[in-house]
Chains A and B, each alone.
Chain A
Amino acid sequence: MGTGHRPVATDSPQFENWLRRFDRALEKRMQDRPSGFGNPWLQLALSVACVLVSEFLLKRGATQVADIGSAWSWTGVNGLASPLVWWAILLIVASFISWLYVLRYIPITIAFPLSRVVDILVPLGCWIFLGELISPLRWCGIALVVIGLALVAKPIAQIEERL
């Protein structure tokens, strides 16, 4: 059951047993997932891509129609006046449908942290496509997220290899 690659060395048989049970539960969950377009990992990637584009559209749309003086603007409803916000909503609905599908097959403790890859894709997108500078502190943050994502994703990759 591939527990030899665990990053945490332990002499406790109870703890090892618990880790093995975690692996087995995850493997069982993964066995009955569909392949092709129905692959939940592909759907997770699609969901992330939709969220990424919608974040840019929302920010631009919200600032286009900003009316800070109005008390109603706290509700965000006046943002609907921007067509960009409507495009963003369309993408959010698409990502939501993909996300529901992901939730059916992948534990949320794994799927949600992985979905936050979008938080580094936004600044990286600004750097690559808009030529914005990334400060050293921001690079550190991106590195932390990448290490965190690798830690969350590694057990999944090992299980996928075995299936």
Chain B
Amino acid sequence: MTFLAFFFIVVSLVSFVAAQLILKRAMEATKSAGFRNAQFVWKVIGGVILMTISFFLTLGLLQRFDLSYLYPFQGLSVIFITLMAAVVLKEKLSVRLTIGTLLISAGIVLVSLS
């Protein structure tokens, strides 16, 4: 794997994780303020832009690598999103959730390695 490929995989992963956290914030905001508020609109637009960047980078990577090769990196997104949701969104993280998340990630990596 070249440096360029690694760079695009990381950018794709980071933009995907950031998009999920921003979208979660946006949807949380609708509970108190409804859908007609600038905060919600801007956050959704930001989330969609980041998801689009991640989507096209993944499409570019798929043209060069097998889906099974790229999948372990998608597995990492489970760990990153769960961790970042606990840190940034202050969501509660139980021991059971943590173990479950780690097992899911390890399973995804094994599935793609085989």
Task: Give the contacting residue for A76; candidates B57, B71, B109; CB below 8 A.
Answer: B57
User: Do B94 and A77 touch across chains, with their CB atoms under 8 A apart?
Assistant: no
- Distance in angstroms from A130 CB to nearest chain B CB is 14
Q: How many A-B residue pairs have CB under 8 A?
A: 177
Residues of A within 8 A of B56 (CB): 75-77, 79
Q: Do B103 and A151 have beta carbons less than 8 Å apart? A: yes
Q: Kindly name the residue among B61, B95, B100 whose own CB sees the greatest number of chain A CB atoms within 10 A.
A: B100
Size of the B side of the interface (Cβ < 8 Å), in residues, is 57
Q: Hey, what's the 0/1 contact readout for A59-91 against B, CB within 8 Å counting as 1?
A: 100110011100001111111000001000000
A19 at the interface (CB under 8 A from B): yes
Residues of chain A contacted by B92 (CB below 8 angstroms): 21-22, 25-26, 107, 109
Judge if A149 is at the interface, Cβ distance under 8 Å: yes
Selected from B59, B78, B86, B93, the residue in CB contact (under 8 A) with A58 is B59
**CA of A142 to CA of B109 in the docked complex: distance in angstroms?**
10
Q: Smallest Cβ distance from A20 to chain B, in angstroms?
A: 11
| Chain A interface residue number, banded | 35 or more
1/0 per residue, CB under 8 A from A, across B51-80: the answer is: 100011111111110010001001101100
A30 in contact (CB, < 8 A): no
Is the pair A152, B101 in contact by a Cβ cutoff of 8 Å?
yes
Asked if A8 lies at the interface with its beta carbon under 8 angstroms from chain B, I say yes
Inter-chain contacts of B8 with A (CB < 8 A): 74
Is A68 within 8 A of B64, CB to CB? yes
Hey, which chain A residues are within 8 Å of B71, CB to CB? 119
In the complex, residue of chain A having the shortest beta-carbon distance to the beta carbon of B7: A74
Q: Is the CB of B23 within 8 A of A103?
A: yes
Q: A120-B107, A144-B104 are in contact. Are A108 and B24 (CB under 8 A)?
A: yes
| Minimum CB–CB distance for A136 against chain B, Å | 8
Binding site for A on B (CB under 8 A): 4, 8, 20-21, 23-24, 26-28, 30-31, 44, 51, 55-64, 67, 71, 74-75, 77-78, 81-82, 85-86, 89, 91-97, 99-114
- Give me 8 A-to-B residue pairs in the complex whose CB atoms sit less than 8 angstroms apart, sorted by A's number: A59-B67, A62-B59, A92-B55, A104-B31, A134-B114, A141-B110, A146-B107, A148-B100
